[in-house]
């Protein structure tokens, strides 16, 4: 879907809401010279900051998009797969997706899904 | 009564049929306004306004706004609303009993300022290939819609009003709107007031719509939120709408300002629920006798129209509503 600025802001949020919220969806920004990766809905998350409950999924998937952009495809795939595999375990889910897990717990779980180096 | 285009005439016919069956003492003065059927003129608009001066109340199908620019930036529908100064659009989004959706038991009211904002029809090409489109926000109209929202909430016993805006980006425009809402809120201490940015509001509506009660917002956000919320309970066919000025009340489809999908414009499968539900508003005695019968046809899968997943035609549905009326309207 392609659209002007405001509609994009709105549709991003509606669609992120449809798939589980701001903690899950990554976003990318492209210009002629630069590329910037971030969470799709750009929430500051003031109310959940510094409580170790933020969902790292969106940020990690955005980082994977950055790795793909940098042509580090195998690293991107590896991490992405680890993130998705970790999501299969509801015990690692942070509160925004209905769980009681922590940010650090989710990250540890993702790391444990990485192939041993 | 302004049937309009597309499914409008059939839906108005449905209302007339049901009213006749229920012996409702209302006579409709019909006017055929349409931008697409070339029955759009200043005289016709004036005639409608004259008629409204007597009746004060109207029921509208859908006056379609075509995409092509034929010289007038303001659509016919928009011009009518401005002539009648229908500044407040109210869409009461309520889950229909018997029709399951992703979120059930919803009861939200969306109040939209309908005469300014992004629909001010002020556009120009300031430089070649550069269009400036002016969004107008005024203190007067913002205060007016905010007051309407709080009065509505008070009258209907609602607990909270949430102002929807994007004042972080449109600091002066939406900033003014927000400021006016805050000022008006102080005059209604019994009603809770909070604010939310339009993007987050849309996400929340999809994830957890229950946190909202009455929402008030400028024109474009209202258009979008109306559609989003209507989608939550079953779509364009089941949500009625009301528009108010200081003197007039207009009852219509909840999504009348939105562009209809082609199948709604062309098809004969439109649900007549929406205008039927909206007309119950101004006739309190009619509402108490009529509304209890409405859920029954909706519950029955065999009478649901296409938009609700059934195979019924508009006329089948109307017949079912009438059948449900008659046992209680006996001899």
**Cα–Cα distance for residue pair B9/B4, rounded to 1 Å:** 6
3-state secondary structure of B189: coil
Confidence (pLDDT) at B315:
84
Question: Strands, DSSP E only, in chain B?
Answer: 2-4, 57-62, 88-94, 107-113, 123-127, 130-133, 160-165, 192-197, 214-217, 240-244, 249-253
CATH of the domain at B177: 3.40.718.10
Q: What confidence tens digit (pLDDT) does each residue in A58-72 have?
A: 999 999 999 999 999
Chain A residues touching residue B228 (CB < 8 angstroms): 14
| The token pair that represents B209 in the structure block | 């719509």
Contact A21 B207 (CB under 8 A): yes
The DSSP result for B263-275, as a single string, is HHHH-S---THHH
Contact B198 A10 (CB under 8 A): yes
Question: Which of B237, B231, B116, B92 lies closest to B173 in space, CA to CA?
Answer: B116
Question: Which of B18, B14, B4, B24 lies closest to B315 in space, CA to CA?
Answer: B14
Residue of B199, B204, B207 lying closest to A10 (CB–CB)? B199
**B29, B64: one domain:** yes
**Cα–Cα distance for residue pair B105/B64, rounded to 1 Å:** 31
Q: What confidence tens digit (pLDDT) does each residue in B96-111 have?
A: 887 888 899 999 999 9
**B231, B253: one domain:** no
Confidence (pLDDT) at B331:
37
Considering only residues A32 and B261, tell me which one the structure prediction assigns the higher pLDDT.
A32
What domain range includes position A70?
5-44+51-113
Confidence (pLDDT) at B267:
34
Residue B48's contacts (CB-CB under 8 Å, 6 or more residues apart) are B2, B31, B33, B58, B80
> Closest Cα of chain A to B204: distance in Å?
7
- Which of B186, B211, B236 finishes a domain? B236
**pLDDT for B24 beyond 70:** yes
Task: Kindly state the average pLDDT of the residues B16-42.
Answer: 86
Confidence (pLDDT) at B323:
85
What domain range includes position B137?
88-236
Confidence (pLDDT) at B258:
40
**pLDDT for A6 beyond 90:** yes
**pLDDT for B264 beyond 60:** no
Task: Kindly state the average pLDDT of the residues B19-28.
Answer: 90
Show the DSSP H helices in B108-217 as ranges. Answer: 139-155, 173-185, 198-207
> Closest Cα of chain B to A29: distance in Å?
18
Q: Which of A10, A16, A58 to mutate to test the interface with B (most CBs of B within 10 A)?
A: A10
| Residue ranges of B 291-330 with Cβ closer than 8 A to chain A | none
Residue B26's contacts (CB-CB under 8 Å, 6 or more residues apart) are B19, B283
- Contact of B202 with chain A, judged by CB distance below 8 Å, is answered with yes
- Which of B202, B236, B270 finishes a domain? B236
How many C-beta atoms lie closer than 10 Å to residue B225's C-beta?
Answer: 25
Q: What confidence tens digit (pLDDT) does each residue in B121-180 have?
A: 899 999 999 999 999 999 999 999 999 999 999 999 999 999 999 999 999 999 999 999
Residue with the two structure tokens 């439109």: B270
Residue B263's pLDDT band (cuts 50, 70, 90): very low
Percent of chain B residues past pLDDT 70, beyond the cut: 84
| The token pair that represents B120 in the structure block | 């001010």
Q: Which of A4, A15, A16, A17 to mutate to test the interface with B (most CBs of B within 10 A)?
A: A17
Contact A13 B200 (CB under 8 A): yes
Residue B1's pLDDT band (cuts 50, 70, 90): very high
Chain A residues touching residue B199 (CB < 8 angstroms): 9-10, 12-13, 41
**B95, B155: one domain:** yes
| Cβ pair B203, B256 in contact under 8 A | no
* Mean of the per-residue pLDDT values of chain B: 84
**B126, B181: one domain:** yes
- Contact of B288 with chain A, judged by CB distance below 8 Å, is answered with no
Poorest-pLDDT segment among B192-196, B230-234, B288-292: B288-292
Chain A residues touching residue B224 (CB < 8 angstroms): 10
What is the DSSP secondary structure assignment for residue B39, as one 8-state letter?
A: B
If you measure CA to CA, which chain A residue comes closest to B224?
Answer: A10
Percent of chain B residues past pLDDT 90, beyond the cut: 53
**pLDDT for A103 beyond 90:** yes
Residue B267's contacts (CB-CB under 8 Å, 6 or more residues apart) are B7, B306
**B116, B45: one domain:** no
- Report how far apart, in Å, the C-alpha atoms of A5 and of each of A10, B229, B317, B331 are: 9, 22, 42, 61
Number of structural domains (chain B) is 2
Number of structural domains (chain A) is 1
- Report how far apart, in Å, the C-alpha atoms of B264 and of each of B203, B286, B305 are: 26, 28, 12
Can you give the pTM of this predicted structure? 0.88
**pLDDT for B284 beyond 70:** no
Residue B219's pLDDT band (cuts 50, 70, 90): very high
**B212, B266: one domain:** no
Per-residue b/e over B75-96, b at no fewer than 16 CB within 10 Å?
bbbbbbbbebebbbbbbbbbbb
**B101, B224: one domain:** yes
3-state secondary structure of A37: strand
**B121, B187: one domain:** yes
| Cβ pair B158, B192 in contact under 8 A | no
Question: Which of A106, A103, A111, A117 lies closest to A81 in space, CA to CA?
Answer: A111
Task: Kindly state the average pLDDT of the residues B41-70.
Answer: 88
Residue B269's pLDDT band (cuts 50, 70, 90): very low
Confidence (pLDDT) at B295:
47
Confidence (pLDDT) at B133:
94
- Which of B217, B236, B255 finishes a domain? B236
Residue B71's pLDDT band (cuts 50, 70, 90): confident
Confidence (pLDDT) at B328:
54
């Amino acid at each position: 879907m392609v659209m002007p600025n405001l509609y994009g802001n709105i549709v991003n949020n509606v669609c992120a809401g449809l798939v589980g919220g701001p903690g899950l969806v990554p976003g990318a920004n492209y210009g002629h010279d630069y590329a910037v990766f971030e969470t799709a809905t750009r929430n500051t998350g003031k109310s959940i900051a510094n409580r170790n409950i933020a969902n790292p999924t969106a940020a990690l998937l955005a980082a994977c998009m950055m790795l793909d952009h940098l042509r580090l495809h195998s690293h991107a795939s590896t991490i992405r797969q680890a993130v998705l595999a970790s999501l299969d375990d509801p015990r690692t889910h942070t509160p925004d997706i209905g769980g009681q897990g922590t940010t650090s717990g989710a990250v540890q779980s993702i790391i444990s899904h990485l192939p041993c180096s | 009564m302004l049937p309009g285009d597309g499914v409008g005439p059939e839906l108005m016919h449905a209302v007339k049929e049901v009213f006749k069956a229920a012996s409702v003492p209302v006579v409709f003065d019909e006017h055929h306004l349409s931008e697409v059927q070339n029955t759009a003129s200043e005289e016709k608009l004036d005639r409608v306004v004259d008629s409204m001066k007597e009746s004060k109340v109207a029921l509208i199908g859908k006056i379609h706004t075509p995409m092509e620019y034929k010289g007038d930036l303001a659509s016919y529908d928009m011009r009518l609303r401005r002539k009648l100064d229908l500044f407040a659009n109210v869409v009461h989004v309520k889950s229909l009993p018997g029709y399951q959706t992703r979120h059930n038991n919803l009861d939200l009211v969306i109040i939209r300022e309908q005469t300014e904002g992004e629909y001010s029809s002020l556009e120009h090409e300031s430089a070649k290939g550069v269009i400036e489109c002016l969004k107008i926000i005024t203190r007067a109209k913002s205060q007016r819609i905010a007051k309407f929202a709080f009065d509505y909430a008070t009258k209907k016993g609602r607990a909270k009003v949430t102002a929807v805006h994007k004042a972080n980006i449109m600091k002066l425009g939406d900033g003014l709107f927000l400021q006016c809402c805050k000022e008006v809120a102080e005059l209604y201490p019994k009603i809770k007031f909070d604010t939310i940015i339009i993007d987050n509001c849309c996400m929340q509506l999809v994830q957890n719509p229950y946190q909202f009660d009455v929402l008030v917002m400028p024109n474009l956000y209202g258009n979008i939120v109306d559609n989003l919320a209507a989608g939550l309970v079953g779509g364009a066919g089941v949500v009625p709408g009301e528009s108010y000025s200081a003197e007039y009340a207009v009852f219509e489809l909840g999504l009348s300002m939105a562009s209809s999908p082609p199948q709604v414009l062309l098809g004969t499968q439109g649900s007549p629920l929406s205008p039927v539900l909206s007309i119950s508003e101004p006739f309190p005695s009619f509402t108490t006798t009529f509304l209890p019968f409405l859920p029954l046809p909706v519950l029955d899968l065999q009478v649901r129209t296409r938009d609700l997943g059934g195979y019924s035609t508009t006329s089948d549905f109307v017949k079912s509503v009438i059948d449900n009326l008659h046992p209680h309207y006996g001899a």
